[in-house]
Structure 1
Amino acid sequence: MSICYIALGSNLDDPFAQANRAIAALTQLPHTQLVEVSPFYRSKPLGPQDQNDYLNAVIKLTTSLSPIELLDALQSIEKSQGRVRKDNRWGARTLDLDILLYDDLIINSERLTIPHYHMKNREFVLYPLFDIEPELVFPDNDKLSDLVAKCPKNDMKQWIA
């Protein structure tokens, strides 16, 4: 079984409910076990600021699905929860599920980049990841604790339901 970390984000159609439905769907994936879910955080959007704050979390899974099979499963969950892929990369969305890490694999393909690009600069990824895996070391030997120490929270707060 491989260890994977999934970023979860939502800022449309009741993000708290969207997140909980996504977590429930992840528990139903074949050959996959949900290990831990970080606390939920509220963060400002990366792109256009004329959208709602995001609910963000990180989920730890073990799976025997391949990275592409896992990506397909995550995109299926997104679609089932109303995700519409648009040209606007940082627009509002019902649900965003991204593979952050998959064991120590490094993948750079047209469909999938692991470790997830820019994750080391995003407070809404680093802090929830640190909550569940404070001793994590990235495939390039960067320590998560060092990255968190250098990353401002940018008004990110725990989500209050």
Structure 2
Amino acid sequence: MGVRTGQNERPFRHGRRARSALSPTTEGRPLKTDLFSAGISLGSNVGDRLSNLKAARDRLFTLHQGEPETFLVSPIYETAPVGCAPGTPAFLNAVVGMESSLDPLALLDATQTIERDLGRPDDRAKNAPRTIDVDLLYLGEAKFTNDRLEIPHPRLLLRRFVLMPLVDILENQVIPGLGISATEAMTKLDSDEPVPPRFLDSW
């Protein structure tokens, strides 16, 4: 199983997949039925990378509509830049699992608001260094494509820095919308990316 996080913070957890219907309330926060499992990738290679990831994680927790124990946080990995200019700083990457009743575009809007609030400009050049990436990987079994968003994420199964933390929170469970487990996807991965070391288990 995954590693419990947040030694002096919220008790973020690993290893349990989100459920689809929950009780009405928890800790004063409203819960809704018809919740969907959402996977969100976090990355940062500018400034205080760890603080950037923590800030994004905490903002996502405020959007989480499930029980606190179904908010899942992977370990952090330090990864070499992919498709970036020479000299680009290394990234810290992690994956968060949460539950949401939002539709795909509403959840995208929420993640982009987090990016802007944490200092990522709207006009950032592709593959330029950034304070934070907050990328929606999947939302339940939804298959959605328009000019702003495609889910499941079209490169989810091609990126080691996404799949490795995804294995930490899903293990042998099927990746929603893709019909393959995270573990099996890792065994089938054909990538030149170096295997990233774990940077931090508990954060």
TM-score, normalised with respect to structure 1: 0.91
Matches within 5 A, 1:1-161: 1-29=35-63, 31=65, 35-46=71-82, 47-86=84-123, 88-138=125-175, 139-151=177-189, 154-160=194-200
SS in structure 2 at match of 1:100? strand
Which consecutive unaligned segments of at least 5 residues does structure 1 have?
A: none
Q: CA deviation at 1:142?
A: 2.7
Q: CA deviation at 1:49?
A: 3.0
Q: Structure 1 residues 48 and 137, CA, compared in 2 at 3 Å: closer, same or farther?
A: same
Give, as a single letter, the amino acid of the residue that structure 2 aligns with 1:157: P
Q: Deviations over 1:102-129 (max 9, x none)?
A: 0011111111100111110101100000
* Range 97-106 or range 147-156, more displaced: 147-156
Q: Tell whether the 8 Å contact from 1:33 to 1:63 is kept in structure 2 after alignment.
A: no
Rg larger for: 2
Residue correspondences, number? 161
Q: Tell whether the 8 Å contact from 1:33 to 1:61 is kept in structure 2 after alignment.
A: no
CA distance in 2, matches of 1:135, 1:3: 15
Q: Tell whether the 8 Å contact from 2:64 to 2:99 is kept in structure 1 after alignment.
A: no
Give, as a single letter, the amino acid of the residue that structure 2 aligns with 1:80: D
Q: Cα RMSD (Å) of the superposition?
A: 1.9
Question: Which portions of structure 1, spanning 4 or more consecutive aligned residues, are displaced by more than 6 angstroms?
Answer: none
Fraction of identical pairs, as percent: 31
Give, as a single letter, the amino acid of the residue that structure 2 aligns with 1:9: G
More strand by share: 1
Give, as a single letter, the amino acid of the residue that structure 2 aligns with 1:29: L
Give, as a single letter, the amino acid of the residue that structure 1 aligns with 2:79: S
SS in structure 2 at match of 1:12? coil
Q: CA deviation at 1:137?
A: 2.1
Q: Tell whether the 8 Å contact from 1:27 to 1:33 is kept in structure 2 after alignment.
A: no
CA distance in 2, matches of 1:149, 1:11: 27
CA distance in 2, matches of 1:33, 1:44: 34
CA distance in 2, matches of 1:146, 1:12: 32
Q: Tell whether the 8 Å contact from 1:57 to 1:125 is kept in structure 2 after alignment.
A: yes
Q: Tell whether the 8 Å contact from 2:64 to 2:98 is kept in structure 1 after alignment.
A: no
